[in-house]
Chains A and B, each alone.
Chain A
């Protein structure tokens, strides 16, 4: 899968395909985690797929994404190869971060994917800086920063919204409000739970969006992106969504009722789009089966790749703490190479 060449051209079928890729990839990750192929912390995006797919529909390959530790989905649909993500989760040398990051730290310079940040709120300042560099260099690019509702209690969120608004930086702040900061409900940790309202207080255009409806997300992201590209400064979308799975594989999920989870499962974003497409006769069960088969093949290929991929030699443990010399003994300048 490669990233589309122009923003906002995603057909219903393409939006569906991308959501399914995330869903099936992560379902396979659960099996692999149970089989101890994948270790460490692993956070699943299942239930939230419409957010990543809808927002990224507004991006061009030139745009920049900064994400969180729940980022497999963002990485996949930005074009980071499933093989490279899976190998990273296996801790292999062929992983995108050469086995040094794991599930929470997917990075891919070639696709302008700046992680994989596991400090809640820590990616926001970096996103502001990337956008600042684009503006200072006269590049017509946008930076999307994904973060959760939990980040809005962090000081870095408030520092960054002020900074981005003050300098009118081309950033789309994509708040994935899944109602829980790990196990703490939004209403138990925020005095004001209208997140868009709070963002708007910084002078940033902000509004809430139904994050279970990929078409609504794509529409909102398209409008925000258009304004940002036209120089209107940062925008904020509160994408109201829900994770169907626990916070991480370690989480016994004691803080949510089964009834609540079931209520949200009825609003599964993939089921919803399939229903819409069937109603409009855009897809048949046979089409769906073909799509599922293609996706399954991609994922199994990724698993096979990770299984046979070599591990990073222990002798290379301390590589990449500092930059290595480039040709002729000059310091390597990787950052320039991808700009």
Chain B
């Protein structure tokens, strides 16, 4: 992707050396759930337009997503945004701040706290010819809508013999790193990536945050977009518009080891690659971008060159996405491997509140570096 270099630069800038430290610097004022100050977000609100969106403009991840929603609402009158606190509050992470004023309450639609109800209503509206963007506050809350997402959105097309496709986009925040404890911090995108009939996206850059929404809305089938909560305040280039939603991106090239990451672990993997480079180890960094269907070709091409793979996933190791990727590498590139596959995942524990415990539970730059080192020395 042409975005690769710029994105990695932006990500590296946000995470020099150690992503956990960098994330710590960014988090308090930018991205804490329900604690985003409207003054701060309102300041951001005007930025992208004043900066004349284009290749050169920069914005935070939050602004990039807001710009994407605004563009979609302007472009297609079938598009509307629906979810808890998307309107009057401005979005629990201030993503939709100002959109109610611009588009009105019919198209920026506050809902009751009824995840199954409004996700299901999104499915029905999609069947009725609309192009809903349904926002769920966090992936933990999406479990209340699991019935609708899995039993209806993902299933109706097949179960109806091809009659009823569901052109629905569901956005939600995922991931840890903000001291929100075990009911606001998990990474269940791997579960959703298990489900046939869904397309699962994980934008890691501002360009993808802006560029993935429109093609997701154009997709005739349901698309889930997972926005890592630690990324909302990270700045980067806005990009020029829609991006592909089918392939992984090589964010950095190196011949010695392949680091495979996505979403919130991408900046950490890039920071780990910087640290490894200082030791003389050059890493490929793959940003998966699309968690279902996985872009096997990009993974296998890289592993075929480096012969070593480290998978970084904020989800748990057992039965998770990292297990799936590892199995695919074993199936398709077993004889290319010069070392056992390494995985850097969340500790098998509900994410705790205390900062030092939470940091210890998550993949961090040092643990990624150590895993990569293990593959090149074994």
Residues of A participating in the B interface, judged by any CB pair closer than 8 Å? 95-101, 105, 107-109, 114-117, 119, 122, 124-134, 136-137, 155-156, 159-160, 162-163, 166, 319-324, 331-336, 339
Which candidate, B27-35, B160-168, B306-314, B338-346, is the interface stretch facing chain A?
Answer: B160-168
Chain A residues with CB under 8 Å of B164's CB are 107, 109, 114, 334-335
Contact between chains at B112 and A320 (CB < 8 Å): no
Given contacts A126-B127, A133-B128, 6 further A-B contacts (CB under 8 A): A96-B161, A101-B159, A128-B121, A129-B125, A321-B157, A323-B220
Residues in B154-185 with C-beta less than 8 Å from chain A = 156-167
B126 within 8 A of A: yes
A321 vs B165: C-alpha distance when bound (angstroms):
9
A125 CB to closest chain B CB, in angstroms?
A: 2
Contact between chains at A126 and B158 (CB < 8 Å): no
A319 CB to closest chain B CB, in angstroms?
A: 7
Contact between chains at B116 and A97 (CB < 8 Å): no
Chain A residues with CB under 8 Å of B148's CB are 122, 125-126
Contact between chains at B124 and A331 (CB < 8 Å): no
A108 vs B80: C-alpha distance when bound (angstroms):
27
A97 vs B157: C-alpha distance when bound (angstroms):
9
Contact between chains at A125 and B124 (CB < 8 Å): yes
In the complex, residue of chain B having the shortest beta-carbon distance to the beta carbon of A133: B128
B163 CB to closest chain A CB, in angstroms?
A: 4
Given contact pairs A321-B197, A335-B129, A129 touches B120 in the complex (Cβ within 8 A): yes
**Interface membership of chain B positions 173-204, coded 1 if the CB is closer than 8 angstroms to chain A and 0 otherwise:** 00000000000000000000000110100000
B106 within 8 A of A: yes
Chain B residues with CB under 8 Å of A126's CB are 120-121, 123-124, 127, 148, 152
Contact between chains at A130 and B124 (CB < 8 Å): yes
Contact between chains at A132 and B129 (CB < 8 Å): no
B114 within 8 A of A: yes
**Interface membership of chain B positions 103-129, coded 1 if the CB is closer than 8 angstroms to chain A and 0 otherwise:** 000100001101011111111111111
Contact between chains at B165 and A335 (CB < 8 Å): yes
Chain A residues with CB under 8 Å of B158's CB are 100, 320-321
A99 vs B199: C-alpha distance when bound (angstroms):
25
Select one of A101, A105, A130, A321 contacting B128, CB under 8 A. Answer: A130
A16 vs B112: C-alpha distance when bound (angstroms):
43
Pull 24 A–B residue pairs with CB atoms less than 8 Å apart, ordered by A: A97-B160, A98-B162, A99-B161, A107-B160, A109-B160, A114-B127, A115-B159, A124-B120, A126-B120, A126-B121, A129-B124, A129-B125, A130-B127, A137-B130, A156-B120, A160-B120, A166-B112, A320-B157, A322-B197, A334-B163, A334-B164, A335-B129, A335-B164, A335-B167
Residues in B212-238 with C-beta less than 8 Å from chain A = 218-221
Select one of A132, A162, A332, A333 contacting B114, CB under 8 A. Answer: A162
Given contact pairs A97-B163, A331-B219, A125 touches B127 in the complex (Cβ within 8 A): no
10 smallest beta-carbon distances between A and B, as pairs: A129-B124, A125-B120, A133-B128, A159-B117, A98-B161, A107-B160, A159-B114, A129-B121, A97-B161, A323-B220
B240 within 8 A of A: no
In the complex, residue of chain A having the shortest beta-carbon distance to the beta carbon of B114: A159
Contact between chains at B117 and A132 (CB < 8 Å): no
Contact between chains at B159 and A97 (CB < 8 Å): yes
Given contact pairs A125-B120, A125-B124, A323-B165, A133 touches B111 in the complex (Cβ within 8 A): no
Chain A residues with CB under 8 Å of B165's CB are 323, 332-335
Select one of B112, B124, B151, B196 contacting A132, CB under 8 A. Answer: B124
Select one of B106, B112, B129, B167 contacting A163, CB under 8 A. Answer: B112
Given contact pairs A96-B161, A122-B152, A339-B129, A162 touches B112 in the complex (Cβ within 8 A): yes
In the complex, residue of chain B having the shortest beta-carbon distance to the beta carbon of A169: B121
